[in-house]
């Protein structure tokens, strides 16, 4: 594992020492990147470096994303087995690879970023953490904070999926439900954190969530035999994973672990909350606050991402697109993947699969292009949301085709 050499501002390039925990750039409020001296790894063979780190010496323990510890901070991880998730070829087109992030602890990719954020919080001796969350980041923080025995405070919209409330409560987090969106939750955290002594692990306001999510970039390249795919579809709320993957590509190229054309990065949003798509279409460098944000893809309900400038820059550099689709189209794709592939996507993952169909239909991509679609979470975290979409309710009359047989008729 390398020692962190410093933090670097994503905007003004200011360098900040890494001996103490950092939030955002003191000079310009930009998000910070973690930088290492990767020169000892230049020219190495990733198969041997990563292969060596993929299990413990007796081959017994699952290293998950820590198989990339050669490019992660040199500290003792707080781990629940996150990362190294399956990449599944679609049965209908083997060039379409689904990255199944629902296989992570807490059922979403948020585990990667929060595993690293909590690992570093423990390393720095931080005593209380706080986060505004659309739901799944809260669940992940609650789990890792419990594992690290660090108290945490989670602020979520009051209408988050029930699973998010249940998991945060079970892990022993302090939960506040806010009548509003994640932006209102962020305000609440900002108002309280100084007086309460909380460390804020908001998306892109501390450097290690991006660092954890960068492992998705390493993984998709390794799982594609150390080659880039043609395009990556990423359901984008705050954009942490997209930013993290781009950082991974840059690092891998510096070490000579991958070469060739980087994938087109396709950021996918819901039409009911599409600030990045609007800015992209209007040729703007930053987004403006989306009013009355509404979508059943709760993770995409981010009315103004903090890292909008970085997301837009990456999508444009990559020759990608930002696509925004209505919930009805997401739900159709969700049903399609469930019925035809046996995969219950999250609504956010269904944004990626639906967007793929759109970009094939409009000719931006060809079926022969190799693409990775991120299912960022398990659909099983959204049963209450889907029950509503399917017109099912726990205690209501079941539809006729689901009528239960009376026990005596089963045993007749």
Ligand X SMILES: Cc1ncc(COP(=O)(O)O)c(C=O)c1O
Pick between residue 50 and residue 277 the one whose CB is nearest to ligand X: 277
Write out the H or E segment, with its range, that includes residue 313: helix 308-318
CA distances from 46 to 50, 52, 62, 287 (A): 6, 10, 19, 38
Pick between residue 29 and residue 288 the one whose CB is nearest to Zn ion: 29
Nearest distance, CB of residue 305 and ligand X, angstroms: 7
Three-state SS sequence of 118-152: HHHHHHHCCCCEEEECCCHHHHHHHHHHHHHCCCE
Binding to Zn ion in span 25-44, by CB under 5 A = 25, 27-28, 30
Question: Which one of the spans 1-9, 63-71, 101-109, 296-304 is the region binding Zn ion (CB under 5 A)?
Answer: 1-9
C-alpha dihedral sign at 198, 204, 205, 207: positive
Pick between residue 82 and residue 211 the one whose CB is nearest to Zn ion: 211
Nearest distance, CB of residue 37 and ligand X, angstroms: 27
The answer to whether 101 and 85 have CB atoms below 8 angstroms apart is yes
Q: Sheet harboring 231-235: ordered strands across? A: 87-89, 96-100, 371-375, 231-235, 264-270, 321-325
> Which listed option, Zn ion, ligand X, none, makes contact with residue 73 (CB within 5 to 8 Å by class)?
none
Report the distance separating Cα 73 and Cα 125, nearest Å.
Answer: 16
Cβ-closest position to ligand X: 299
> Which listed option, Zn ion, ligand X, none, makes contact with residue 27 (CB within 5 to 8 Å by class)?
Zn ion
In the beta sheet, which residues pair with residue 174? 153
Write out the H or E segment, with its range, that includes residue 34: strand 32-36
Report the distance separating Cα 294 and Cα 303, nearest Å.
Answer: 9
Neighbours of 236 (CB within 10 A): 36
> Which listed option, ligand X, Zn ion, none, makes contact with residue 77 (CB within 5 to 8 Å by class)?
none
In the beta sheet, which residues pair with residue 200? 130
Residue in the structure block whose two tokens are 């703007």: 284
Contacts with Zn ion, 2-21, as mask; x by CB under 5 A: -------x-xx-x-------
> Which listed option, ligand X, Zn ion, none, makes contact with residue 236 (CB within 5 to 8 Å by class)?
ligand X
Report the distance separating Cα 152 and Cα 44, nearest Å.
Answer: 40
Nearest distance, CB of residue 309 and Zn ion, angstroms: 12
Report the distance separating Cα 55 and Cα 49, nearest Å.
Answer: 12
| Number of residues lying near Zn ion (CB under 5 A) | 8
Pick between residue 32 and residue 175 the one whose CB is nearest to Zn ion: 32
Nearest distance, CB of residue 240 and Zn ion, angstroms: 18
> What is residue 99's three-state secondary structure?
strand
Q: Which residues contact 200 (CB under 8 A, 6 or more apart)?
A: 23, 129, 130, 131, 189, 190, 193, 206
Q: Which residues bind ligand X (CB under 6 A)?
A: 108, 110, 134, 136-137, 203, 235-241, 299, 346, 348, 376-377
Write out the H or E segment, with its range, that includes residue 265: strand 264-270
> Which listed option, ligand X, Zn ion, none, makes contact with residue 376 (CB within 5 to 8 Å by class)?
ligand X
> Which listed option, Zn ion, ligand X, none, makes contact with residue 9 (CB within 5 to 8 Å by class)?
Zn ion
Pick between residue 73 and residue 379 the one whose CB is nearest to ligand X: 379
Pick between residue 145 and residue 240 the one whose CB is nearest to ligand X: 240
Nearest distance, CB of residue 328 and Zn ion, angstroms: 41
Pick between residue 327 and residue 348 the one whose CB is nearest to ligand X: 348
Nearest distance, CB of residue 376 and ligand X, angstroms: 3
> Which listed option, ligand X, Zn ion, none, makes contact with residue 136 (CB within 5 to 8 Å by class)?
ligand X
Pick between residue 73 and residue 235 the one whose CB is nearest to ligand X: 235
**Binding residues vs Zn ion (CB under 5 A):** 9, 11-12, 14, 25, 27-28, 30
């Amino acid at each position: 594992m390398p020692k962190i050499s410093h933090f670097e501002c994503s905007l003004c390039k200011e360098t900040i020492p890494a001996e103490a925990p950092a939030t955002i750039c003191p000079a310009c409020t930009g998000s910070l990147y973690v930088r290492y001296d990767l020169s000892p790894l230049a020219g190495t063979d990733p198969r041997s470096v990563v292969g060596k780190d993929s299990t413990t010496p007796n081959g017994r323990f699952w290293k998950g994303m820590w198989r990339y510890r050669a490019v992660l901070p040199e500290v003792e991880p707080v781990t629940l087995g996150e990362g190294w998730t399956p990449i599944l070829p679609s049965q209908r087109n083997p060039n379409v690879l689904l990255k199944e992030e629902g296989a992570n602890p807490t059922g979403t990719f948020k585990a990667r970023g929060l595993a690293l954020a909590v690992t570093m919080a423990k390393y720095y001796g931080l005593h209380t953490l706080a986060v505004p969350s659309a739901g799944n980041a809260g669940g992940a923080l609650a789990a890792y904070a419990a594992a690290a025995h660090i108290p945490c405070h989670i602020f979520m919209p009051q209408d988050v999926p029930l699973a998010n409330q249940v998991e945060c409560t079970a892990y022993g987090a302090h939960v506040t439900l806010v009548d509003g969106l994640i932006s209102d939750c962020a305000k609440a955290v900002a108002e309280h954190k100084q007086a309460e002594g909380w460390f804020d692990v908001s998306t892109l306001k501390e450097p290690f969530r991006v660092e954890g999510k960068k492992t998705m970039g390493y993984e998709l390249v390794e799982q594609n035999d150390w080659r880039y795919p043609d395009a990556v579809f990423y359901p984008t709320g705050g954009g942490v994973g997209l930013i993290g993957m781009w950082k991974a590509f840059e690092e891998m190229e510096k070490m000579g672990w991958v070469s060739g054309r980087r994938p087109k990065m396709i950021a996918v949003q819901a039409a009911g909350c599409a600030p990045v798509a609007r800015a992209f279409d209007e040729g703007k460098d930053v987004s403006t606050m989306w009013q009355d944000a509404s979508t059943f893809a709760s993770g995409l309900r981010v009315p103004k991402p903090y890292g909008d400038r970085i997301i837009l820059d990456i999508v444009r550099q990559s020759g990608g697109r930002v696509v925004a689709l209505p919930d009805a189209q997401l739900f159709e794709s969700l049903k399609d993947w469930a019925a035809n592939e046996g995969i219950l996507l999250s609504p956010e993952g269904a944004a990626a699969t639906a967007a793929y169909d759109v970009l094939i239909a409009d000719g931006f991509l060809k079926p022969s292009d190799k693409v990775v679609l991120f299912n960022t979470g398990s659909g099983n975290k959204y049963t209450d949301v889907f029950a509503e979409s399917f017109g099912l309710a726990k205690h209501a009359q079941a539809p006729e085709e689901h009528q239960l047989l009376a026990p005596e008729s089963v045993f007749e």
